[in-house]
């Protein structure tokens, strides 16, 4: 049976019937899990004790905040979440002008092998279940208030955990629960082509972000293992298919690595790739990790590259650096925490 806190309302109604509970209990349960962010049925006072007893025997996924790491330089907070089996995943809460935005993890570890990313160094350990993603949202909301938006850009490749991610987004969207618009959800992928094609057919206005990082196939293969499986050509065919279906702008994440992808020829090639497409190019200066010590470009180099792209007519922004003092890039915090080297 799907865990109770991962069932949609219809499924919960059927479960309640099977358990000999009145159908209206389904709405109470859904409200408890997804509106109140409740995780402990023994505390659900709208249910009589004898009814709770039966439900308490069911095993439910759970998420707790293990530790919060507030930035000293801005309002960004980083989290380690503790899962029932002892695994840790991380998340980031950013305080933007328009509201709170949270970066969510979709897997413990990742098997995509991007060379600049700490999350992938031990491979994919396991997928997160829908509730293990919801719980990240609910626990942070209880502490800091309602989120404006979420971004699936923490550890893990969301399209490598497709069904659980879709169930997570649908439950988060449900008007009887958290009621977050699909338009306020962003799914970031390193370029899993079949997943993008599948997403295109969902007919949900979820924002798509592509981790591009270089416009050249050969260079991309060097820093992103996924590029060996799905070429840039196939990736852009899938993006076109997605844009045709959704009519939505696609964002491109571009980590700037000095001398690797911030040359003039990179900007010119980006123009060729993105110029004719509805796009938003997001530049992110590299956060070096232990195993990937390539250079972070200087502020001047970053600005030069941004100007180059702007002059070429690209729609480009520089990601405001948030929480730079708290191991803000994906996977770094969890690794350091486990190594005991966090100060
Ligand atoms: S950047 Fe994303 S897709 Fe690539 S290895 Fe890290 S978590 Fe996986």
Which atom of ligand 1 lies closest to the CA of 190? 3
Which atom of ligand 1 lies closest to the CA of 156? 7
Could you tell me where the DSSP H helices lie in the chain? 9-18, 24-34, 49-56, 130-144, 162-173, 193-200, 217-223, 226-229, 232-246, 264-274, 299-311, 332-339
Q: How far is 292 from 217, CA to CA, in rounded Å?
A: 20
pLDDT above 90 for 325 = no
Which atom of ligand 1 lies closest to the CA of 154? 7
Ligand 1 pocket, mutate which of 105, 127, 157, 331 (most atoms under 8 A from CB):
157
pLDDT above 70 for 188 = yes
What pLDDT shows up at residue 11?
Answer: 97
Ligand 1 pocket, mutate which of 123, 155, 190, 226 (most atoms under 8 A from CB):
190
Ligand 1 pocket, mutate which of 114, 224, 227, 287 (most atoms under 8 A from CB):
114
Structural contact between residues 112 and 157, judged by C-beta atoms closer than 8 angstroms: yes
**CB contact set of 245 (below 8 Å; sequence gap of 6+):** 200, 201, 203
CA of 144 to the centre of ligand 1 (A): 27
In the chain, pLDDT over 90 holds for what percent of residues?
75
Q: How far is 267 from 193, CA to CA, in rounded Å?
A: 24
Report, in this order, helix, strand and coil percent for the chain, each rounded to 5: 40, 20, 40
Q: Is 155 in the pocket of ligand 1 (CB under 6 A)?
A: yes
Nearest one of 114, 172, 111, 123 to 146, comparing CA atoms: 172
pLDDT tens track for 202-243: 999 999 999 999 999 999 999 999 999 999 999 999 999 999
- Catalytic machinery residues: 90, 330
pLDDT tens track for 112-136: 999 888 888 889 999 999 999 999 9
61 pLDDT band, cuts 50/70/90, is: very high
Q: Which two tokens stand for residue 60?
A: 């439910």
CA of 114 to the centre of ligand 1 (A): 6
3-state secondary structure of 321: coil
Output the pTM of the full model. Answer: 0.93
Which atom of ligand 1 lies closest to the CA of 157? 3
pLDDT tens track for 292-319: 666 788 889 999 999 999 999 999 999 8
Structural contact between residues 123 and 109, judged by C-beta atoms closer than 8 angstroms: yes
What pLDDT shows up at residue 340?
Answer: 65
What pLDDT shows up at residue 208?
Answer: 97
Mean pLDDT of the chain: 92
**What is the residue with the minimal CA distance to atom 6 of ligand 1?**
117
pLDDT above 60 for 343 = no
**CB contact set of 40 (below 8 Å; sequence gap of 6+):** none
Phi and psi at 95, nearest 5°, equal -100, 95
Mean pLDDT value across residues 16-39: 94
Q: How far is 258 from 247, CA to CA, in rounded Å?
A: 34
- Inter-axis angle of helices 130-144 and 162-173, nearest 10: 40
CA of 254 to the centre of ligand 1 (A): 13
Structural contact between residues 288 and 252, judged by C-beta atoms closer than 8 angstroms: no
Q: Is 262 in the pocket of ligand 1 (CB under 6 A)?
A: no
Q: Is 114 in the pocket of ligand 1 (CB under 6 A)?
A: yes
- What DSSP letter does each residue of 126-176 carry, written as one string? EEPPHHHHHHHHHHHHHHH---SEEEE-SSS-GGGGHHHHHHHHHHHH-TT
What pLDDT shows up at residue 285?
Answer: 87
């Amino acid at each position: 049976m799907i865990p109770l806190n991962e069932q949609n309302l219809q499924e919960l109604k059927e479960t309640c019937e099977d358990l000999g509970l009145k159908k209206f209990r389904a709405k109470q349960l859904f409200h408890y899990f997804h509106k109140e962010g409740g995780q402990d049925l023994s505390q659900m006072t709208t249910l009589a004790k004898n009814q709770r007893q039966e439900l308490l025997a069911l095993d439910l996924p759970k998420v707790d905040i293990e530790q919060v790491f507030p930035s000293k330089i801005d309002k960004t907070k980083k989290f380690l979440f503790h899962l029932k089996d002892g695994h840790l995943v991380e998340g980031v809460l950013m305080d933007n002008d328009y509201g709170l935005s949270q970066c969510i993890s979709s897997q413990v570890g990742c098997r995509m092998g991007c060379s600049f990313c700490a999350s992938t160094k031990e491979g994919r350990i396991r997928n997160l279940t829908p509730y293990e993603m919801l719980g990240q949202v609910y626990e942070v909301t209880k502490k800091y208030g309602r989120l404006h938006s979420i971004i699936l850009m923490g550890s893990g490749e969301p399209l490598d955990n497709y069904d659980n991610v879709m169930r997570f987004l649908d439950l988060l969207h449900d008007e009887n629960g958290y009621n977050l618009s699909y338009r306020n959800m962003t799914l970031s992928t390193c370029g899993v082509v079949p997943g993008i094609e599948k997403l295109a057919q969902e007919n949900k206005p979820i924002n798509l972000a592509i981790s591009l990082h270089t416009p050249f196939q050969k260079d991309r293969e060097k820093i992103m293992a996924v590029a060996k499986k799905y070429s840039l050509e196939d990736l852009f065919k899938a993006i076109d298919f997605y844009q045709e279906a959704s009519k939505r702008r696609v964002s491109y994440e571009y980590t700037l690595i000095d001398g690797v992808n911030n040359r003039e020829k990179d900007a010119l090639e980006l123009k060729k790739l993105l110029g004719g497409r509805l796009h938003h190019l997001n530049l992110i200066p590299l956060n070096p990790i232990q195993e990937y010590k390539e250079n972070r470009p200087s502020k001047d180099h970053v600005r030069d590259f941004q100007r180059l792209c702007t002059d070429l007519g690209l729609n480009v922004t520089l990601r405001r650096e948030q929480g730079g003092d708290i191991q803000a890039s994906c996977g770094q915090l969890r690794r350091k925490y486990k190594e005991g080297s966090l100060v």
